[in-house]
Chain A
Amino acid sequence: MLMTVGLILLAVGGLVSLWRQLQMLQQNSYFPSRYYGWMKESYVFEVTAECFAFCLAAFLYEKALALLIAAAVLLAVRLILAVSQHRKSIKKLVVTGRVKRLYGAAILVFALLVAGYALADGQTQMILRMLIAMFGLVTPLTALFAWLLTKPIESTFTAYYIRDAKRILKEHSGITVIGVTGSYGKTTTKFILQRLLDEKFNVVTTPHSFNTPMGVVRTIRGDIKPETQIFICEMGAKKTGDIKEICDIVHPDHGIITSVGPQHLDTFHSVDNVFATKFELYDAVTQKGGKLFANAESAGIAERVAKCPKALLFGGDSECRAENVTCGREGSSFDLVLFGERVPVKTRLLGAHAVNDIVAAASLAKALGVSAEEIRFAVSALKPTEHRLEMKSWQKGSVLIDDAYNANPEGCLAAVEVLGSFEGMVKTIITPGLIELGTKEYECNFNLGAKAAEVCDEIILVGKNRSKPLHEGALSKGFDEAHIHVVSSFAEAMQVYLPTVSPNHVVLLENDLPDNYLN
């Protein structure tokens, strides 16, 4: 009896820990291979601990009371861990129908094993006990077993959802589908395109960065209404054939390829394969006689497009490009050149990438009949993402560029370049530098300091110890030390800086960190 209760506790503990496993399985799009990759990288310690616990349980298999106590303690620990991990995770487990079914399958397995254990005896009972201990302790196995059990049901569901989405699009006569793909910039381009097309059409977009076949199917089934005229579909790819798979569902009329770069090389194996996959969109679009725009500024695309007679280029010196780009207190200003027509625009979006994304969206919008005036207004109404090169008017009429959420080295350098493009203004950077970059941390911060020295008038560093590399980087470029201010907190930075600002000041707030990092 004690043994049975102990085993049930083990099983319940297993179900508790399953939460995190399913979260990871879900975030790896339910691909066991990707999930295994995650385990290999981030879960080795836990797996070892689980196997160790399993051995212990095996050792304890005759001693019912010890097992019961161990299982109870383990359950308590796992509960605490699961709750704290759940709270901490940025991308939490979304309890979808599928997650419920996976849980159901796991519960069913445990219930059958425990019932079997209670009824069986001898050798069989011992094997069942081992199985309960195994599934209760080594939860990745439980997750994978539940995945295997539910797979046939899921395939049926998936097939039905895809068929239903295809039916909706087919019955929706007159809807225009636009595919947006690329290694970088596809989400931003998608949202800019939506705003531009909003001037003339009823547009539905895949939300957030939904870009998998099921994400697309969900949008079609949930958001497309009878009045919808355009569906913009972001298409993500992690391996060859992924774009074609989405194209076979939505049959895009037009497309944009924002960039092709060395992303997901572990699954693509080569950049050539990335090109081939992104250009699956070209094949789909040409079948329907539509337009495909590809970014001339992304390395290798122009050469590739030369082999695709029907593809059009944007950016660079192609037919659709930005000219006379300047940056000032009103944001970016430039001339959109679209098929020979010149449209002067202003936007609060900053940086070369944003300009390029606007060119991409405007090219297609123009081709679909949005007028130059409408494009001018829509571009002026674009909203930046919060804390990503977000331009704000600030104290005493000065300008603040809030790039607090930027924590990647190239992004930070690009932000400093944006600051540099504010011609004729007094430029200040406030930053604690970058963290969690391992062996490259010193180098990245040094480079950031050096870059800041090239463009800034004042450098305010937050955190005495951790900003040393930045300090050294700035000095290496011969920056006047009198204009470097080291402070201990963001609040102190404000005290140093605020009294000096005037309308002619522009301040870049770069990678603002929580105060616990500062010392």
Chain B
Amino acid sequence: MKTNIAVLYGCRSVEHEVSIISAVQAMRSINREKYDVTPIYVTKSGEMYTGEMMFAIESYRDTEKLMREADPVCLIRTGDSVVVRFLNQKAFHKKADIPVNVAFPIVHGTNCEDGTVAGLLEYLNLPYVGCDVLSAAVGMDKVVFKNVLENAGLPVLPCVSFRAREYVLEKERITAEVMEKVGLPAIVKPVNLGSSVGITKAKTPEELDDAISLAVSFSDKVLVEHAVTALREINCSVLGDPDSCEASVCEEPFMHDEILSYKDKYLGNADKSGASKGMASLGRKIPADLTAEKTEEIRKLACDIFRATGSSGVVRIDFMIDTETDKVYANEINTIPGSLAFYLWEATGLSYTDMIDRLIEIAFRRQRNRDNMTFTIDTNILSGVSFGTKGSKGSKM
């Protein structure tokens, strides 16, 4: 009897392919002596498929063929358990439901990583790995994330945020506000997209206008924050839950372009080997070349941020160090980081397989905490109630 993990990945997201890479990596690292794995590949239109071929990255090269060969399924609750149910049943060869004990969402970006998938799993009351609805949503919205951190007294850069419509209608006022509060050079980011899609740096007012125009094509909400000119980017991963968490070693990604663009992040080494290996293959230095004090400062900050946002599972928090002032700023949190940041944990002394084991334990722990908090009221207050409509004999409240 093994615990069956349903790995959910893909989804309607600009980072669909990245999610496939992260998920296939993870599925291959799960301890199969202890767990069974049911892949649930969610297509860009939101259908769910499963099948043995899902474990091989090559299968995803021809998605049409994959769709033909795989089985369409759905994830539903029936009685005490949640099952993967096959949708296309043949009359004489029925495929039995596959019971699921825990879900493992490995999705990136809007429409999935932002709490959407967490919401689905909570609705099913199925234990799941990673952030819950609120912390995932906070992590996805860069402005809300900054507000939460500011409230907790954690260091973030000053910023201005606005909606696309506002920019079109009140361009002068917003530009003036950006100039006053943030100044140039500035970084322009679409709010609520993961990775670095749509992020650009603006050094002149013209560049600022272009950058904002690009950003609004990705998101309705835009964030402009001060660009630190002499900057080092440092990432740190945190594993655990708000009750008990620990930080990994720090990494310093190499910056090809001025900021880490989508191309760098996921396609960086693709040309040479022919197959993209995701975040794990990005050029980086692990551990980052920092003083012991700086490393400790960042690791402690990472845990504080993890708790302040109420995160769970494994996240990666990206920091910036202004090398002129030596100050550290929290930049963003990835609630489901590319490759699950396993390379940081391997460098910390925890194998990918053991890390997944820990994630599953954390998922069950959260479920137990919830079960212990839930008050079930056994009496059904509706049992004695009917609406007394005119002419009916039903009892009234």
Tell me whether B2 is interfacial, beta carbon within 8 Å. yes
Supposing A225-B101, A227-B364 touch, asked if A381 and B372 sit within 8 A by C-beta, the answer is yes
Please name all residues of chain B whose beta carbon is closer than 8 Å to the beta carbon of A172 when the two chains form the complex. Answer: 1
Docked CA distance A195–B102 (Å): 21
Contact across chains for A171 and B364 when beta carbons are under 8 A apart:
no
Docked CA distance A381–B365 (Å): 15
Tell me whether A202 is interfacial, beta carbon within 8 Å. yes
Contact across chains for A198 and B372 when beta carbons are under 8 A apart:
yes
List CB contacts (< 8 Å) of A226-254 with chain B.
226-227
Please name all residues of chain B whose beta carbon is closer than 8 Å to the beta carbon of A200 when the two chains form the complex. Answer: 365
A382 nearest CB neighbor, chain B only: B372
B368 nearest CB neighbor, chain A only: A198
Contact across chains for A171 and B372 when beta carbons are under 8 A apart:
no
The one of B3, B365, B368 in contact with A226, judged by C-beta atoms closer than 8 angstroms, is B3
Tell me whether B4 is interfacial, beta carbon within 8 Å. yes
List CB contacts (< 8 Å) of B207-252 with chain A.
none
B1 nearest CB neighbor, chain A only: A226
List CB contacts (< 8 Å) of A211-234 with chain B.
225-227
Docked CA distance A226–B34 (Å): 9
Cβ contacts A131-169/B at 8 Å (1 or 0 each): 000000000000000000000000000000000000010
Contact across chains for B372 and A227 when beta carbons are under 8 A apart:
no
Please name all residues of chain A whose beta carbon is closer than 8 Å to the beta carbon of B364 when the two chains form the complex. Answer: 202, 227
User: In this complex, which of B3, B360, B364, B368 has the most chain A Cβ atoms within 10 angstroms of its Cβ?
Assistant: B368
Please name all residues of chain B whose beta carbon is closer than 8 Å to the beta carbon of A203 when the two chains form the complex. Answer: 368
Supposing A168-B1, A202-B364 touch, asked if A226 and B372 sit within 8 A by C-beta, the answer is no
Q: Nearest chain A CB to B297's CB is how many angstroms away? A: 25
Please name all residues of chain A whose beta carbon is closer than 8 Å to the beta carbon of B2 when the two chains form the complex. Answer: 226
Docked CA distance A226–B101 (Å): 8
The one of B1, B4, B368 in contact with A202, judged by C-beta atoms closer than 8 angstroms, is B368
Please name all residues of chain B whose beta carbon is closer than 8 Å to the beta carbon of A381 when the two chains form the complex. Answer: 372
Q: Nearest chain B CB to A191's CB is how many angstroms away? A: 11
B375 nearest CB neighbor, chain A only: A383
- Which size bracket describes the interface of B in this complex? 10 to 19
Residue count of chain A within 8 Å CB distance of chain B: 12
Q: Nearest chain A CB to B104's CB is how many angstroms away? A: 13
The one of A168, A171, A198, A227 in contact with B3, judged by C-beta atoms closer than 8 angstroms, is A227
Contact across chains for A171 and B1 when beta carbons are under 8 A apart:
yes
The one of A171, A198, A227 in contact with B101, judged by C-beta atoms closer than 8 angstroms, is A227
Docked CA distance A202–B127 (Å): 12
B369 nearest CB neighbor, chain A only: A198
Q: Nearest chain A CB to B307's CB is how many angstroms away? A: 16
Cβ contacts B352-394/A at 8 Å (1 or 0 each): 0000000010001100100010000000000000000000000
A195 nearest CB neighbor, chain B only: B372
Docked CA distance A171–B360 (Å): 21
Cβ contacts B1-40/A at 8 Å (1 or 0 each): 1111000000000000000000000000000000000000
Docked CA distance A198–B4 (Å): 21
Please name all residues of chain B whose beta carbon is closer than 8 Å to the beta carbon of A168 when the two chains form the complex. Answer: 1
Please name all residues of chain A whose beta carbon is closer than 8 Å to the beta carbon of B101 when the two chains form the complex. Answer: 225-227
Cβ contacts A342-355/B at 8 Å (1 or 0 each): 00000000000000
A203 nearest CB neighbor, chain B only: B368
Q: Nearest chain A CB to B264's CB is how many angstroms away? A: 39
Please name all residues of chain A whose beta carbon is closer than 8 Å to the beta carbon of B4 when the two chains form the complex. Answer: 226
* Cβ-closest 7 pairs across A and B: A226-B3, A227-B3, A226-B1, A198-B368, A202-B364, A226-B2, A227-B101
